[in-house]
Structure 1
Amino acid sequence: MKIEHVLAGFVPESRCRDGLALAVLLARQAGARLTVAYVHPPAWTTPGPGKIDAEWQAYIAEQTAQTLEQARRLLAGVRDVPIDYVSHGNRGSGRGLAELAARTDADVVVIGSAPRGGRSRISLGSTADQLLHGSPAPVALAPRGYGTSPPPGLRQLTVAYRRDPAAGQAVRQAVTLATQLDVPLRLITLVVSGGRCSVVKEMLARVREQVADDLETVARGHRPVRVEVEVLEGRDIAAALTSVDWPAGAMLICASSQAGPLRRVFLGDVSLKIIRSAPCPLMMLPRNLQKKSKSG
């Protein structure tokens, strides 16, 4: 994938800074344009008394203007990224962003974490849930607090790899993006070690050897990008992810579940656990991502 257009969802809440910070970082490093979008409730589909309709429309217009003005103020110091501001009506903010992504041919949709999540972790709210089960474009999620002290730029892309066609495509897309952003690529496979008996240990040893061979094979096929490979092991996915260093400016990339709809982001159980345990921003790729001549 190549990023030329970043779409950032914006809401007038504290978490909005996190998504905006990641969106600006991506747009700046990719040399892309940025669209900041506010999804507001739609107009009533059934006509009511004229005065009530007019009052509702005026209220929505006022809220939209105030929200986008807040976004402009937050990004007033950004001079090196072309930014425009749009609004869109939909009862679901995630569905509205997915519609905008399709309409504007966005290359990635960026949002922040739900407010209830722990600091530096990603929590999924209704907006993320809707996007992660239907966006036609990759979805990037910023951890809570990311906007407080964002890194100066992305410094590494890490792909969570497993042996299936979706992950293979994710690696190819990540190679293209790493080339565009001029950053190294790391391939990881997570191995969950749940037992201590000799049979389990022997089985895990074979699994580690096999996945290490898989990663090396994949890495050799994607030069000249600098590719590192690591097998991460832990008692669960969270422990495996935290068993390795994550530098400032890291981003984790995951492929959608094979069970999901074609060309849509779709979460499986493992992807959901990775999102909740990710120590950095995370990008979910749709199945069979194809973007005209920009596909990587």
Structure 2
Amino acid sequence: MTYVVGYGPRGDDRSAVDLAFQFARSRPAPVVAVSVVPQGWGTPVAAGVDREYEQWAAAEGRQSAQLATADFAHHPGLAAEAVWVAGRSVPAALIDQAMARDAALIVVGSAEEAEPGRVRLTSKTDRLVHSSPLPVAIAPRSYRTTSRVTRVTVGFRDDDGSWSLLDRVAGIARASAARVRLVTFLVDPARRPVTTDVSHAQAQVIDAWMTRAVAAQAEAVAHLRTLGFADDEIEHGISAGPQWHAAVASVGWAEGDILVVGSSSTHRLAQVFLGSSASKILRNAPVPVVVVPGAGA
């Protein structure tokens, strides 16, 4: 088993490397930083130019591997390797490397334009998230840590996808000796004046939804107990707010937390589709996010 890191040197942002080593401290396995450089054309007509292009790409790959090795120095005593490969598609090359190296997951960083401490997908990582058969972990911009994973929070919706995800999260938490936290997010849209019938009906719907969510979480907690989790290893709650930012922030986050979200269970390509709720949670998360593909992946 390994942890494969999609490594692209971007200034001082070694966030993906730090996150990979966080997983390695929790469940020991080598970290492999993979830099993907452009692949040459490979046509006889462009042989001379192609050779020069390949030489340039190889030099870029070697330099990137050297920078990754320098980043490893922040995490002494943990097994790590830096490699580079040529490929026409960065996501496809990372998936190939992850499958060949028996990776538990693929780890990437956030976009350069992301605010420090926030998760943002690039066009490449967006394609990776929607095509990888393995979980993909995304580090917030400028993420730094020397801790292990201590708590795994799962966004729980009480649908088929959430129940399948819960079992996979339980496996992640058990392997990492981490606690599990179930959170159901409720974003309450702005209500109309209380004098209208619509507002009253909306309040009734929200109250009924809350009642159902509480019952579903109790059922999920009972299920975790059957998997061997003790009561002090399980947390659960409902987080409500007028916007996604407020709902996600009000949960309370600490060093060692990671958040796990799953794909949409209603989309015809559920195994590779990140639903709208999961996307909003991801964009507002202040901790690393692991996107787990559906069971059909």
Residue 193 (structure 1) aligned to one of 184, 188, 206: 188
- State the SS of the aligned residue for 2:163: helix
SS in 1 for 2:221: helix
Inter-partner Cα distance in structure 2 for 1:265 and 1:30: 26
Partner residue in 1 for 2:194: none
Equivalent in the alignment of 1:238: 245
Aligned to 2:176: 181
Q: Distance in 2 between matches of 1:213 and 1:15?
A: 46
Correspondence list, 1:206-285, <5 A: 206-223=208-225, 224-225=228-229, 226-258=233-265, 259=267, 261=269, 264-285=271-292
Report the AA paired with residue 19 of structure 2: L
Question: 1:121 is paired with a residue of what secondary structure?
Answer: coil
Match of 2:103 in 1: 106
Within 2, Cα distance between the matches of 1:119 and 1:190?
A: 24
* Structure 1 residue 16 displacement after superposition: 4.4
Q: Which residue of 2 aligns with 1:73?
A: 70
TM-score (ref. length: structure 2): 0.90
Task: Give the aligned partner of residue 86 of structure 1.
Answer: 83
How far did 1:102 drift? 2.6
Aligned residue type for 1:191: L
The residue aligned with 1:96 is 93
Looking at structure 2, the residues matched to 85 and 68 of structure 1 have their Cα atoms a distance apart, in angstroms, of 5
Unaligned runs of 5+ in 1: 291-296
Q: State the one-letter code of the partner of 1:22.
A: L
1:53 to 2:50 alignment: yes
| 1:12 has 2:15 as partner | no
Question: 1:211 & 1:171 partners in 2: Cα distance?
Answer: 15
Give the alignment of 1:152-191 within 5 angstroms.
152-191=147-186
CA distances 1:182-233 after superposition (whole Å, capped 9, x unpaired):
1110001111211433322222111111101101101111123221111111
**Against the structure 1 CA distance between its residues 16 and 92, is the aligned structure 2 distance closer, same or farther, given a 3 Å change threshold?**
farther
Structure 2 counterpart of 1:97, one-letter code: L
Paired amino acid for 1:233: A
Once superposed, which parts of structure 1, at least 4 consecutive aligned residues long, lie more than 3 Å away? Answer: none
Task: Confirm or deny: 8 A CA contact 2:61 2:85 kept in the other structure.
Answer: no
1:99 & 1:202 partners in 2: Cα distance?
50
Structure having the higher Rg: 2
Identical-pair percentage: 27
Instruction: Quote how far apart the aligned CAs of 1:39 are.
Output: 0.8
Residues 28-60 of structure 1: CA deviation (Å, up to 9, x unaligned): 211112111001111214233433222112111
Counterpart pick for 2:113 among 113, 116, 125: 116
Distance, in Å, in 2 between the alignment partners of 1:29 and 1:47 is 49
Contact 1:5-1:33 within 8 A present in 2 as well: yes
Q: Which amino acid aligns with 1:221?
A: H
Task: Tell me which amino acid in the other structure corresponds to 1:161.
Answer: F
Q: Which residue of 2 aligns with 1:139?
A: 136
Give the TM-score normalised by the residue count of structure 1.
0.90
* Amino acid in the other structure paired with 1:201: A
Distance 2:96 2:170 in 1: 27
The residue type equivalent to 1:256 in the other structure is S
Work out which of the residue numbers 202, 205, 227 in structure 1 matches 2:204. Answer: 202
Aligned amino acid, residue 273 of structure 2: F
Distance of aligned partners of 1:184 and 1:100 in 2 relative to their CA distance in 1, 3 Å threshold: same
Corresponding letter in the other structure for 2:208: R
Count of matched residue pairs: 284
